[in-house]
Amino acid sequence: MIFHHIGIFTSDLDIGRIKLSSIIPIQSVTDPIEDSGLKVKIQFCTDTSGICYELVAPFGDNNPVSGILLSGKAIINHVAYTVTDINIASKKLRKSGCIPISQARPALAFENRRVIFFMSPLRFIIELIETPD
Residue 74 has pLDDT above 70, yes or no: no
Residue 40 confidence class, pLDDT cut points 50, 70, 90: very high
Percent of the chain whose pLDDT exceeds 70 = 98
Which residue type, as a one-letter code, is found at position 57? A
Judge whether 31 and 43 are in contact, CB under 8 Å.
yes
Q: Residue 82 sits in which domain range?
A: 2-130
Cα gap 119→133, rounded to integer Å = 26
Domain CATH number, residue 58: 3.10.180.10
According to the 3-state scheme, what is the secondary structure of 70-87?
A: HHCCCCEEEEEEEECCHH
Query: What mean pLDDT do residues 64-74 have?
Result: 84
Q: What's the mean pLDDT when you consider all of the chain?
A: 91
Convert 114-131 to b/e letters by CB count within 10 Å (16 or more is b): bbbbbbeeeeebbbbbbb
Q: Count structural domains, the chain.
A: 1
Per-residue pLDDT of 3-31, as tens digits, reads 999 998 899 999 999 988 888 889 999 99
Query: What mean pLDDT do residues 48-67 have?
Result: 92
Residue 50 confidence class, pLDDT cut points 50, 70, 90: very high
Give 25 or 114, the one with higher predicted confidence: 114
Q: What pTM did the predictor assign?
A: 0.77
Judge whether 57 and 14 are in contact, CB under 8 Å.
no
- Please report the beta strands in 48-123, taking only residues with DSSP state E, as ranges in sequence order: 52-58, 76-83, 99-100, 105-107, 113-119
Judge whether 37 and 60 are in contact, CB under 8 Å.
no
